[in-house]
């Protein structure tokens, strides 16, 4: 029996291929984190890499987030190109001292003498009934920190193509992988395509309203756009994909065209990345807006376990549709 050639690839496989390629291209690159080796990664991203690259470069760590993230910082300073995996964003708080006080700070605080070319990958987001200590969306919070670059690959192409440019960045890059995406499959992307990790991407062109989303909310935004198209409303969907630095140019160009803006953000509303974007729109596109800016965020509670409660807490396609309809119901 001959196997049919694989035409599709899952998000986790795309990420794995990106790691594999980076390790083959640059022997300074190594992966470390909890259960990345023998276990194959808690979400299966690094399955098989230990066998290919060995335990020095696919390095299992103890449960010491601050210790191994700091070790990544030190190794990066000394010329290595570490990829550090943290199981979930909630666990990254144990390493927040290292991420904020060292990774994001050392270049400036040393007057530019040292830099930290470190990539930290972690799972983020809810929807899998994992409860309040495995399900939050804190990427917007990390985007508050100057000195970092924050990436949120929402597509197979970005999962495949963001890692290499992130490793080429001389400064720390955090990659947030939404947990609901690992099993999503799509056509195998061209590995030679370099993703621009400074720009948002227009995923669907439209004229009536701009819906901005990223990570776990992008698919919901695109589905909402399809639904709204049936009602004759043309939605432009922007995949923010870089939360720091925000791509103001792409965001403002779209809103100046559609005059209406909806921001879908799985983070909590107060002090969120959606709040930051809304503020920038008010600062720079106030007179272009024909309707109040709408935000679709998670309800401000710790993420509950029960499925109906969790789904009620998360931004949904129907919420995005309703928000978009509110913006177009306003006539300037």
Partner 1 sequence: MTTTNVTPAEVWSEAVNGSRDDVLIFQRDLLREMLRIRRFEEKCAELYSAGKIRGFMHLCVGEEATAVGVFHSLSPLDAVVSTYREHGHALARGIDMSVLLAEMFGKQAGCSRGRGGSMHLFSADLRFYGGHAIVGGGLPVAVGLALAEHMQGSDGVVACLFGDGAFAEGEFHESANLAALWKLPLVFFCENNLYAMGTSLAREHAETDLAMRAASYGMVSWSVDGMDVLAVEEAARRAVEYARDSGEPCFLELRTYRFRAHSMYDPDRYRDKAEIAHWRERDPITTLTEQLRQRQGIEDQDLRQWEQEIAEEIKAAIKVADSAPTEPVEDLTRFLYTEARGEQ
184 near partner 1, judged by CB under 8 A: no
Q: How many Å apart are CA 244 and CA 143, to the nearest integer?
A: 5
106 near partner 1, judged by CB under 8 A: yes
Burial 145-158 (b: 16+ CB within 10 A, else e): bebbbbbbbbbbbb
* CA distance between the termini of the chain: 64
142 near partner 1, judged by CB under 8 A: no
| Ranges within 259-298 binding partner 1 (CB under 8 A) | none
Is-contact 169 116, C-beta < 8 A? no
To the query of whether residue 259 is one of the catalytic residues in this protein, the response is no
Member of 4, 56, 329, 332 binding partner 1 (CB under 8 A): 56
80 near partner 1, judged by CB under 8 A: yes
Chain position carrying tokens 């987030």: 65
Say which of 13, 34, 65, 236 is annotated catalytic: 65
Member of 115, 129, 234, 316 binding partner 1 (CB under 8 A): 115
171 near partner 1, judged by CB under 8 A: yes
Mention every residue, 6+ apart, whose C-beta is less than 8 A from residue 96. none
Q: Residue 107 Cβ, how far from partner 1 at the closest point, in Å?
A: 5
97 near partner 1, judged by CB under 8 A: yes
To the query of whether residue 65 is one of the catalytic residues in this protein, the response is yes
76 near partner 1, judged by CB under 8 A: yes
102 near partner 1, judged by CB under 8 A: yes
Distance of CA 166 to the CA centre of its chain: 13
165 near partner 1, judged by CB under 8 A: no
Count of other CB atoms within 10 angstroms of residue 111: 7
| Ranges within 8-37 binding partner 1 (CB under 8 A) | 30
Member of 44, 74, 127, 131 binding partner 1 (CB under 8 A): 74
83 near partner 1, judged by CB under 8 A: no
Look up residue 80 and give its two tokens.
């290595």
Chain position carrying tokens 């935004």: 221
Is-contact 85 44, C-beta < 8 A? no
Say which of 13, 134, 157, 177 is annotated catalytic: 134
199 near partner 1, judged by CB under 8 A: no
Member of 58, 77, 175, 242 binding partner 1 (CB under 8 A): 77
240 near partner 1, judged by CB under 8 A: no
Q: Which stretch binds partner 1 (CB under 8 A): 61-69, 156-164, 235-243, 274-282?
A: 61-69
The count of residues interacting with partner 1 (CB under 8 A) is 43
Member of 2, 3, 5, 111 binding partner 1 (CB under 8 A): 111
Cα–Cα separations (whole angstroms), residue 60 to 35, 39, 206, 314 = 5, 9, 46, 33
Helical segments of 78-187, H only: 89-92, 96, 106-109, 139-142, 156-161, 163-168
Q: Beta 235-239 vs 201-204: how paired, if at all?
A: antiparallel
Mention every residue, 6+ apart, whose C-beta is less than 8 A from residue 58. 30, 31, 32, 36, 37, 46, 49, 50
Active centre residues (catalytic): 65, 134
Which spans of this chain sit near partner 1 (rule: CB under 8 A)? 30, 56, 61-62, 64, 66-82, 97-98, 101-102, 106-115, 117, 146-147, 168-171
């Amino acid at each position: 029996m001959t196997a049919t050639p694989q035409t599709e690839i899952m998000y986790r496989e795309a990420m794995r291929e990106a790691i594999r390629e980076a390790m083959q291209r640059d022997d300074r690159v190594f992966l470390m984190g909890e259960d990345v080796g023998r276990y194959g990664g808690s979400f299966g991203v690094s399955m098989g890499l230990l066998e290919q690259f060995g335990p020095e470069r696919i390095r299992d760590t103890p449960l010491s987030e601050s210790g191994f993230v700091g070790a990544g910082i030190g190794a990066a300073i000394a010329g290595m190109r570490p990829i550090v995996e943290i199981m979930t964003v909630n666990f990254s708080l144990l390493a927040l001292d290292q991420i904020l006080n060292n990774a994001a700070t050392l270049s400036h605080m040393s007057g530019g003498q040292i830099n930290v070319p470190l990539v930290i990958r972690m799972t983020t987001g809810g929807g899998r009934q994992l409860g309040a200590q495995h399900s939050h969306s804190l990427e917007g919070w990390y985007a508050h920190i100057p000195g970092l670059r924050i990436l949120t690959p929402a597509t197979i192409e970005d999962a495949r193509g963001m890692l290499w440019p992130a490793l080429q960045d001389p400064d720390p890059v955090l990659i947030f992988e939404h947990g609901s995406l690992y099993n999503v499959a799509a056509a195998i992307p061209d590995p030679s395509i370099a993703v621009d990790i400074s720009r948002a991407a227009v995923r669907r062109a439209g004229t009536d309203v701009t819906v901005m989303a990223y990570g776990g909310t992008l698919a919901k935004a695109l589905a909402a756009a399809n639904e709204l198209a049936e009602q004759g409303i043309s939605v432009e969907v922007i995949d923010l994909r870089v939360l720091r630095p925000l791509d103001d140019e792409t965001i403002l160009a779209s809103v100046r065209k559609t005059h209406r803006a909806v921001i879908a953000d799985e983070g909590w509303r107060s002090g969120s990345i959606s709040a930051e974007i809304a503020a920038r729109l008010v600062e720079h596109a106030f007179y272009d807006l024909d309707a109040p800016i709408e935000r679709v965020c998670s309800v401000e509670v710790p993420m509950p376990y029960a499925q109906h409660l969790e789904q009620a807490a998360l931004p949904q396609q129907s919420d995005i549709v309703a928000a978009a309809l509110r913006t177009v119901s306003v006539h300037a």
